Structure 1
Amino acid sequence: MVNALSWAMTAVVLAVVVGAVLVPRVAGAAPYTVLTGSMTPTYPPGSLVVVRPSDDITVGDAVTYQLESGEPTVVTHRVVGISYDGEGQRSYTLQGDANEEPDAEPVRPEQVRGEVWYSLPWVGRLGVLFTPGQHQLLVYAAAGGFFAYAAALLWQARRDRRREKAHPAVRPAVEEESRA
């Protein structure tokens, strides 16, 4: 029972680490934490949204965008309209799922960080608790812990094989019964 619980917890932690850290880095995506309730119930506060660049943003897509171009503050809202000015420049009208009105300012394509690819509820809450340096330390510690656990399992299996070779179990009665 304890062994099964250990494996289940390990699988859950591994899945969270893979979904929150590894997949975004490999896929060129970026994780962001939802801090407000403007996208409730789709992305409640504390959700981690993983955003990847997209050139094919349509009405209905949830996107993460910079409030001001070049600034680090971002918001995740849904596209409710796409318009073009007289020069053919595209802009998006965005609105939070829980908001009654669209955002006041249209968003230019260069402000858009990407389209929401997937989300992990509650995982973003962990991200808010730690600084970026602490995040990196936790990732290294988790990876080190998994490697240490795997090394311990391999060492134990090797030790058990050596014991079996050094002290083979003698079962002559079983052998005689199987010959009869």
Structure 2
Amino acid sequence: MAADLTAGPAFPARASRKKSRTAGPSPSSADESRRKGTGAWAAVGRILSMSAMLVALFASVVLIVIPVATGSQSYTILTKSMAQKFPPGTFMVMKPAAFDELKYGDVITFQVYSGRPDVDTHRIVGFGSTQSGEKTLITKGDNNGANDPEPVRAIQVKGKLFYAVPYVGFVANALGNSDRGTWTVLAAVGLIGYGAITVYRSVRKPRGSKDPAGAVA
């Protein structure tokens, strides 16, 4: 019998084996993710810090710097006589004004009795004069039903309304109403110093923050 030499031996085909591998983050990508997360929180921190600094600077300018620079005096509304516009707790900055320049509708702070520390802050609703011809003011609280019983003389006037800030007066009262000079200086220095430190920390560039250049394979 002749053997067919054209047909070679049959060998089983090798099945290609594919190794399934679970993809996971490489160390470099994990580090990058952490850096991104840290950077995001750092940005939020900078925004909050800058916001706090701006509020502190605004407070120091409006409540301290401007009154001191203009020679104004600050008072706090304690009663409802000037509600609704100026409720209790309103911080009132009263600027010196010439008596002859005061006009109808102006809000003024005046001594209830000349030479005594008690003061009221009411609105001018009219003018009068004494028997000797001295000019006087007729005042009234916006929320009161009648005019103040006594006219106001020039010597009693402490100032005319410059501007008012709602509710801040409660904090001022806690610091003391009789003499705020020392508290004013300390608060101004503290707020401005805080603002300067915050600005410095926000704008300075931390060391080592630049990413190293990647190596070329």
Partner of 2:190: 141
Q: Which has the larger radius of gyration?
A: 2
TM-score of the aligned structures, taking structure 1 as reference length = 0.80
Superimposed CA distance per residue, residues 83-134 of structure 1 (whole angstroms, 9 cap, x where no aligned partner): 1234321111111001001111111011001110110011111111123355
Matched-pair contact (CA < 8 Å) for 2:138–2:147: yes
Matched-pair contact (CA < 8 Å) for 1:127–1:135: no
Matched-pair contact (CA < 8 Å) for 2:64–2:184: no
Cα distance in structure 1, aligned partners of 2:92 and 2:48: 28
Query: RMSD value over aligned CA atoms?
Result: 2.4
Q: Per the alignment, in what secondary structure is the counterpart of residue 120 of structure 2?
A: strand
Distance apart, 1:11 and its partner CA:
1.6
Cα distance in structure 2, aligned partners of 1:17 and 1:168: 39
Structure 2 residues not aligned, in runs of 5+: 1-43
1:120 to 165, 182, 200: 165
5 Å-filtered alignment, 1:52-91, equals 52-55=95-98, 56-91=101-136
Equivalenced residue count is 167
Matched-pair contact (CA < 8 Å) for 2:57–2:192: no
Partner of 2:138: 93
Partner of 1:178: none
Q: 1:9 to 1:146 in 2, by over 3 A?
A: closer
Q: 1:73 to 1:80 in 2, by over 3 A?
A: same
TM-score of the aligned structures, taking structure 2 as reference length = 0.68
Q: Percent identity of the aligned residues?
A: 29
Structure 1 residues not aligned, in runs of 5+: 174-180
